[in-house]
Structure 1
Amino acid sequence: MAKVDKIDQKILSELTNDSSISIPKLSEKINVNSSVVYSRIKRLVKKKLIKRFTIEINNKELGYGVKSLTGINMDSKQRDNVIQELFKIPGVREVSEVTGRFDILVTMYAENLSEMYRIVSDSIGKIQGVIGSESFIEMKTRTKQMSYMLE
């Protein structure tokens, strides 16, 4: 496990909130010299504590009003086929192999409930190797900062 100090924590926290922040603004915000912030970020990337800089898309503004987590049980011999077929479905964003009552959890987006129903029943239900599924429609999301972030 990599060790981070308070400056690294501040940098990670600020970049988590807004990865597009400029080095000068970030250094001003955390009260650390710009050259130090720049070298710290380079070091965090090199140590793979920062995997990448990205953006957060507002899916609802793009017309994806429904998010679902769908648990799927499958024939383990068909695992690779099931996962490949899932990624061919528009709206499927992430497939996670998990422990528990499901073999995989699929995160997906749809414009509305009717489209989500079609995806689950027509697309997922017809994949060879899928034994059964159960979907959970997201009603509301609340997030919390990770423990490495300062308050």
Structure 2
Amino acid sequence: MSTSARRRLLRDFRRLQNDPPSGITGAPLDSNIMVWQAVIFGPDETAWEGGTFKLTLEFSEDYPNKAPSVRFLTKMFHPNIYNDGQICLDILQNQWSPIYDISAILTSIQSLLCDPNPSSPANSEASRLFSENRREYNRRVREIVEQSWVDES
């Protein structure tokens, strides 16, 4: 294993423990620093409020020069999240920079929940409802939030 990737992940983990962003937790899964599980709590006063959304982050030896693979384990209904949980987010693709740490990644994903980009749809139905029928979109999001309470995936 690359010692620089490992060192960076340990530093990210300490930073996340000492100064966690609001509504976000994350830690390596088991004893493998290269695979993390995180939880994003739905931000207050949004359709996502009260939700508990689990994600995995998989890091390569090239981290932080290469973005991790991030996906939701919790079922999601969102314009920028594919049915398999993969996330369409610029900083995880073409806008990645080594300055991003795990806190920045998770904070960006949390922000994306409430502020989707319908012009880059990963889920065309969610994108259409978000643009054309916000009430129905919010109803579907609330269903996902309620499912997140019982999903132990």
Q: Same fold by TM (over 0.5)?
A: no
Larger radius of gyration: 1
